[in-house]
Copies of this chain bind each other. A is one copy, B any other.
């Protein structure tokens, strides 16, 4: 008989429980025991916080663990479930995809009980944790080789009510950017599974290679702001200070807002995130390797835009993405 994915404690028991979400073993690896804390303070919102969906995004797992330090004391109502490391195999390997099966966990939701390990993790999260809550914060980071504004992103959903609720929750983080990201119909995302069940799921994103104490503090402050807005903890929300600014803006980015490299070469960023760049303004240049006589190729903004994310300097192939632009959301 196949073991079923399960939580090692009963979330309905009031108080604080720590234990594991058990992802059953399969043909490719042993059972995984994912650490989970459940904080049940009675009636109120029911929130799931997940980190470590991608193993090269460390902010989420650490911010989630920092919440574990103070939330059990501070939470005044409702239920919060925190699973800081839902993909420990990828975290240990510092890889986006799961090493054992090579799959991107956030492309195999809702998963399969008899699938490979990424699919079994997705199945356990979807079938055991997701039904317990009405809201999900999936703590991501943009990429280790990109600089990106601290932000909360979501894809548009058809249900206008749900969409409005998601934007409100996302804006409550008070991070520099709330971003509505045009959906390219990527299958298998955790977001879609939650949205299809009418649940709020927002992804916080933080970018930029190295994960510093300062970046973690900003990220944690954003999550705390959202917990206050949901009514789960008391306190006053505050804009975290980021690069000398304390502001938030709600932006949208379209599929056409991904700028690509026109040729192979070394990409050099010539602007910074949150810069406003006029139409035709310089985003970066591309240096042809092997020669110092060729002029660098200029990569310019096709429309007046705000730079949401920009690739770290480095060698890129043709058509590799080098910047993600955005603009104020028209309401």
**A residues at B contact (CB < 8 Å):** 18, 33, 35-37, 58-59, 61-62, 65, 68, 82, 84-85, 88, 91-92, 94, 144-147, 207-214, 216, 244, 266, 268-272, 287, 289-293, 296, 310, 312-315
Known: A145-B209, A209-B210, A211-B314. 15 other contacts (CB 8 A): A18-B292, A37-B292, A58-B266, A58-B312, A62-B287, A65-B296, A68-B292, A91-B315, A92-B315, A94-B315, A144-B210, A209-B312, A213-B272, A214-B272, A216-B269
Residue of A35, A293, A296, A310 contacting most chain B CB atoms (<10 Å)? A35
Are the CB atoms of B35 and A292 closer together than 8 Å? yes
**Across-interface contacts of A271 in B (CB, < 8 A):** 213
Number of copies of this protein chain within its complex: 2
Do A211 and B269 form a contact, CB below 8 Å, given A287-B65, A290-B35? Answer: yes
Contact of A289 among B85, B208, B244 (CB under 8 A): B85
Are the CB atoms of A144 and B88 closer together than 8 Å? no
Q: How far is the CA of A36 from the CA of B207 in the complex (A)?
A: 35
Nearest CB in chain B to that of A83: its residue: B292
Top 9 A-B pairs, shortest CB-CB distance: A209-B209, A211-B313, A210-B312, A209-B210, A58-B313, A35-B292, A213-B269, A147-B210, A211-B312
Q: How far is the CA of A210 from the CA of B206 in the complex (A)?
A: 13
In the assembled complex, the CB of A97 is this many whole angstroms from the nearest CB of chain B, namely: 15
Nearest CB in chain B to that of A296: its residue: B65
Are the CB atoms of B36 and A292 closer together than 8 Å? yes
Residue of A292, A310, A312, A314 contacting most chain B CB atoms (<10 Å)? A292
Nearest CB in chain B to that of A244: its residue: B244
